[in-house]
A and B are shown apart, each in its own frame.
Chain A
């Protein structure tokens, strides 16, 4: 279980505790009542064909059921979001942040999020021999500034930040979503373009001197661009229940594709979930 997932479960637990205490203590209930937003409990199936085959995140999603606690919760200016349907199906990732400016359709946030999740298998796998002997590449934690503009059916996001945990590289992203309601269904057409500095691409996709093997040459890439195109549909099943699903395609520039670790030309993602909405 990674840190973000623990964080989400912890959040759920703390919310439950808040509810219990609220009966007896007005002070605690008042902070609890300041929470706004939506919490989801979901079960579903996913498919993520990662650029580097054999990563744990691919196994986690593709095999078995997905159980997720997700949401969009605000407490004052603080918030936590788990946008699992946006920009690439990182099911167990979350964004925490502080909104320091909001006026009508415009908002500015300070956010912390993981843009890359990469956990090599500890044991050698015949399905992914190119990962054998690699040093661990941890998930990142990027502190960023984000601007969002939401107007009618359009949502635009621009964010840029630096990782403080692993690669210390800069990441920038521009994302756009178009909401297309049709009868009881909502469709979201999503597109995102992410820039990753050389430090980031090299950390995850580079082959370092101590990892060189006859079939794995040294590789030190430059900055890279990756894009996401996806469609999400949300359908109301019953009071407080919804069915949602996403399909998407992640495309990468040559900095990623030329890596000896990469054997695929793109990523495909798909998720279907039934979620209870609190």
Chain B
């Protein structure tokens, strides 16, 4: 298959328009970044509730109405903001997901990982005085 000069011109024009529309579209897309600090909580025993003061920070490329939630619990909402920060008390026995939602739509997510020093023992023993 071969193209003449006119066909090449229209082909290049169509391709450049397609690329331009792609990049313009990408600029309009919502981009949200969520960061959790610290993102790890360590408890003494597997299965025990781990406590940690956690800070969630987010920013986006455009003003948004959104809410911060951990599992199913909403922690904080913002209206027409491009960035936000919220400190909360984490208390969980297993790894938990923190999400940024806009009208129930997931925009970003991060995890608070729960680790432990001692594995849950088969023996009925919760004393660690050794």
Q: Using a CB–CB distance below 8 Å, which chain A residues touch chain B?
A: 36, 38, 40, 70-72, 74, 81-86, 104, 150, 155, 177, 179, 181, 183-184, 186, 188, 190, 232, 234-242, 277
Contact = CB atoms under 8 A, between A and B. Distances in A.
A150 B126 CA distance: 9
A240 B129 contact: no
B130 interface: yes
Interface string B85-118: 0000000000000000000000000000001111
Contacts of A240: 117
A181 B91 CA distance: 14
Contacts of A179: 126-127
Interface in B37-68: 41-44, 48, 50-52
Interface residues of B, number: 22
A263 B123 CA distance: 45
Contacts, number: 64
Contacts of A81: 130
B79 interface: no
Nearest to A153: B126
Interface of B: 41-44, 48, 50-52, 115-118, 121-130
Nearest to A73: B130
Contact of B122 (A36, A84, A86): A36
A242 B116 CA distance: 10
A25 B34 CA distance: 51
B44 A236 contact: yes
